Amino acid sequence: AQSVTQLDSHVSVSEGTPVLLRCNYSSSYSPSLFWYVQHPNKGLQLLLKYTSAATLVKGINGFEAEFKKSETSFHLTKPSAHMSDAAEYFCVVSEWDDKIIFGKGTRLHILP
Amino acid sequence: DTAVSQTPKYLVTQMGNDKSIKCEQNLGHDTMYWYKQDSKKFLKIMFSYNNKELIINETVPNRFSPKSPDKAHLNLHINSLELGDSAVYFCASTPSVNSPLHFGNGTRLTVT
């Protein structure tokens, strides 16, 4: 059975500095992996997805994620944080059995 | 045009009442989900339907009953509401498990 672990419940970075949100997964098969963002009192929006093509995936708003099978990781990065990036971020794994499992989320705080 | 729409957006009710939340998607997707997001922002899958058939039913109290009259609709009926049912409920759809989820904007349920 698949699972997702987001290693940090809260991350704080200063505006203009790099962002790293960590995600590890476990999956019996070749998973599909996603990152979603949820701004306060809003629904969820897809940031990027990995579906067994290139291991470095580019998403919206300057975010990227790298799939590392050997480390079972799918960490989300951004070179320079912006105040508007403050939100909740979810790492998601899905497999052939139609289950789509969310991590517990990481709250990103941007310090001025 | 709204892709996944949920109604109502807010629902305030008393313990013991029965209420329904409706979800409709106009994307032609075969698979629809209900997720519950608690106060800690943790998203937990509740149900999944594929083309009107139930395919995932997590450990949800049987007071919760999903109904899918056609593949564009997945409604959630909750009997005998309890305080612990207070949460934000998200409907989502996807054409396949390897594709991104499209979320509704959520229904904030408050049970008093």
- Residue among B49, B55, B39 at smallest CA distance from B110: B39
Task: Inspect the interface and report whether the beta carbons of B45 and A97 lie closer than 8 Å.
Answer: no
**How confident is the model at residue A106, as a pLDDT?**
96
Task: Inspect the interface and report whether the beta carbons of A99 and B48 lie closer than 8 Å.
Answer: yes
User: Given CB atoms, is A105 within the 8 Å cutoff of chain B?
Assistant: yes
Q: Within the 12-71 window of chain B, which residues sit less than 8 Å (CB to CB) from chain A?
A: 31, 33, 35, 40-45, 48, 50, 55-56
Task: Inspect the interface and report whether the beta carbons of B42 and A104 lie closer than 8 Å.
Answer: yes
Chain B CB contacts of A107 under 8 Å are: 41
Q: What is the pLDDT of residues A50-66, one digit of tens each?
A: 977 788 999 999 999 99
Rounded Cα gap, residues A107 and A63, in angstroms: 15
Among A79-83, A98-102, B5-9, B99-103, which stretch is predicted with the lowest mean pLDDT? Answer: A98-102
Rounded Cα gap, residues A48 and A59, in angstroms: 4
Name the residue facing A95 among B35, B97, B106 (closest C-beta): B97
Rounded Cα gap, residues A43 and A27, in angstroms: 26
Q: At a CB cut-off of 8 Å and minimum separation 6, what does B66 contact?
A: B34, B46, B47, B49, B54, B74, B75, B76, B77
**How confident is the model at residue B50, as a pLDDT?**
85
- Mean local confidence (pLDDT), A60-73: 93
Rounded percentage of chain A residues whose pLDDT exceeds 70: 96
**How confident is the model at residue A82, as a pLDDT?**
96
- Is residue B2 scored above 70 in pLDDT? no
Residue A59 C-alpha from the chain's centroid: 10
Q: At a CB cut-off of 8 Å and minimum separation 6, what does B75 contact?
A: B20, B21, B22, B23, B66, B67, B68, B69
Rounded percentage of chain A residues whose pLDDT exceeds 90: 71
Rounded percentage of chain B residues whose pLDDT exceeds 70: 98
- Is residue A97 scored above 70 in pLDDT? no
Tokens at B44, concatenated: 């937990």
Which of the four pLDDT bands, split at 50, 70 and 90, describes residue A28? Answer: confident
**How confident is the model at residue A47, as a pLDDT?**
96
Cβ atoms < 10 Å from Cβ of B58: 14
Most B CBs within 10 Å, among A28, A29, A44, to test the B interface: A44
Tokens at B95, concatenated: 């054409």
- Residue among A84, B12, A68 at smallest CA distance from A76: A68
**How confident is the model at residue B1, as a pLDDT?**
62
- CA nearest to A30 within chain B: B98
Q: Residue B73 in contact with residue B24, Cβ under 8 Å?
A: yes
**How confident is the model at residue B36, as a pLDDT?**
94
